[in-house]
Amino acid sequence: MKVICLYFPDKMRDYKLKDLAEIFYRYTPQIAVHGELALFLEISKCERLYPLDSMVRIIKKIMRQVQLNPRMAWAEDPSTALSLCVYQKKIKEDLPLEALPFYLNPFVKDEVQGQHLEKMRASFARLGVHTLRDFLSLPVSSLSSRFGRLGLYLHEQVSRPQKVWPFFVPEDKVIEKLSFQDDWHMGNLEVLTFYLKTLLDRVVLRLKGRGEEAKSIQVIFRQEKFSTIKNPDYSIDVSFSMPQLSTKAILALIKEKVEHALHHQPLQGIVESLSFEVKESIPLLTRQKDIFNPKKEEHEEAFGTLLARLSLKLGEKSVFQAQIKESHLPEKTWRRCLPQTQVVNPPSYATERPLRMLQRPEKINACQGQIFIFNKSLQVESLSHREVILSEWWNGFEERIYFRAKTTTGEQLWLFQSRLGVFLHGYFD
């Protein structure tokens, strides 16, 4: 077994160690936490993928990103790794006897046994036993007579540690929060962007750890409670048409949305905290890297980001890919679907349709070879390509007779006649 321990001597503000642990879930599922004090990563099973020195580098990089500076140590078992971190020693034998509680249980602090251990440590100190080296040199038989079952158990754990690793379950939701000092106020959007990025870095790292991509994120500004503020939580929902996992891309989208929201409805009070909640996420599809075309991945990411950005600004339905539908009605021959959707278009047996279609057929006046469209009078030269199309039976088989009308000025219009009159439906362009 090889265990890396991250020890956080200072109490972390806005951080829960369990949330932080999720970041490493992609490297190893063998994760454990000791309250809000230490985080353990068992790396023996993933050592071929991530050797110890690479893993240490990765951890250091992640810690820099989340702006934390824990102590780090590694050993063959979690108790020793934690003790080395806490007492800042290089080897196990140099550890003081104060480390014994960690050998009892490195994952949970045992208060009851802790009192017995303290008494035991005082006795050892009187006997001149100060380090684990001294402790290990004591004969086992003398321990059982003097300290009973606990002494024997501790000796065994220090010499041959064996611990049952607890099962790690990631949190249900990804929520990250940042509390502000009392005197902090949001000066401008640039200041806010800094905090948004800090939070987003954490969210993205956690999502990566969980193997997910964000589809929808809620940004919540919690304002100070005042009688004038009806709802202290000012929330902004940001949905992405394409799932996102890049801090840069998500930040740009969130910034745009927040800017827009705050412009229309400014905050009413002092902001106490800022939080992100991932409302919807989807599994991240990991693929082999294309080593012959490294730009491809970059390109796909840029495409996804652009689509998300356009959808956010123009509306989800305004950015789409067309999918062909089997229908004889010209207005129902295609439908909008998300870009990059893999679709199989059915073959078409319809006659040639115009490349330009009106969103709704426009009623026109026609008499004696003249048609009047959009305040313009056009002389029809010829009518051709007659086609009769019936509406669906549940709409009463309404008949439309389509024509291609060529005007003297060269336009080719696609008209139809129904019982309601003559309509322009499209034009050949």
Partner 1 sequence: MQLVNRQKTLQALRELVGGIEDSATRSRSSFSLWRQGFARGLLTEFTGRGKTEFLVAFLKEHLDFKVAWIEETLSINPFGIFQRQGALQNITFIESHEKINWTVEQVLRSGVFEVVVVSQSLFSQDLLRRFQILNERNQGHFFLLSDELHSSWAIALQMEVQKTEEGLFDIFMKRHKEVL
- Name the residues that contact partner 1, by CB under 8 A: 299, 302-303, 305-307, 309-310, 313-314, 317-324, 330, 333-334, 336, 339, 342-343, 345, 348, 350, 352-359, 410-412, 426, 428-429
Minimum CB separation from partner 1 for residue 248, in Å? Answer: 13
The answer to whether the CB of 77 falls within 8 A of the CB of 86 is no
Alpha helical stretches, state H, 127-246: 132-137, 140-159, 189-210
Distances 131 to 89, 121, 138, 228 between C-alpha atoms, Å: 11, 10, 11, 62
Structure-token pair, residue 99: 């480390």
Minimum CB separation from partner 1 for residue 307, in Å? Answer: 7
Q: Using CA atoms, how far apart are residues 384 and 35, in angstroms rounded to an integer?
A: 81
Minimum CB separation from partner 1 for residue 318, in Å? Answer: 4
Alpha helical stretches, state H, 26-66: 52-65
Nearer to partner 1, 49 or 314 (CB): 314
Structure-token pair, residue 96: 């003081």
Q: Which residue has the tokens 């905290």?
A: 273
Structure-token pair, residue 159: 């010499």
The answer to whether the CB of 18 falls within 8 A of the CB of 171 is yes
Q: Tell me, what amino acid is at 364?
A: I
Minimum CB separation from partner 1 for residue 372, in Å? Answer: 19
Nearer to partner 1, 165 or 320 (CB): 320
Nearer to partner 1, 131 or 391 (CB): 391
Nearer to partner 1, 43 or 242 (CB): 242
Q: Using CA atoms, how far apart are residues 234 and 267, in angstroms rounded to an integer?
A: 8
- Classified as helix, coil or strand, 218 is strand
Nearer to partner 1, 12 or 383 (CB): 383
**What angle do the packed helices 52-65 and 189-210 form, to 10 degrees?**
150
Nearer to partner 1, 64 or 363 (CB): 363
Nearer to partner 1, 98 or 301 (CB): 301
The answer to whether the CB of 382 falls within 8 A of the CB of 406 is yes
- Can you spell out the DSSP letters for 115-134? HHHHHHHHHHHHTT--BHHH
Nearer to partner 1, 322 or 420 (CB): 322
> Distance from CA of residue 356 to its chain's centroid?
40
Minimum CB separation from partner 1 for residue 333, in Å? Answer: 4
Classify residue 391 as exposed, middle or buried by CB count within 10 Å of its CB (0-12, 13-18, 19+): middle
Minimum CB separation from partner 1 for residue 302, in Å? Answer: 5
Q: Is 279 left (phi over 0), alpha (psi -120 to 50) or beta?
A: alpha
Nearer to partner 1, 381 or 399 (CB): 381
Minimum CB separation from partner 1 for residue 374, in Å? Answer: 13
Minimum CB separation from partner 1 for residue 322, in Å? Answer: 3
Nearer to partner 1, 118 or 298 (CB): 298
Minimum CB separation from partner 1 for residue 359, in Å? Answer: 7
Minimum CB separation from partner 1 for residue 108, in Å? Answer: 51
- Can you spell out the DSSP letters for 348-376? --SPPPPSEEEEEEEEEEEETTEEEETTE
Rounded to 5 degrees, what angle do the CA atoms 59, 65, 69 make? 65
Structure-token pair, residue 120: 């035991």
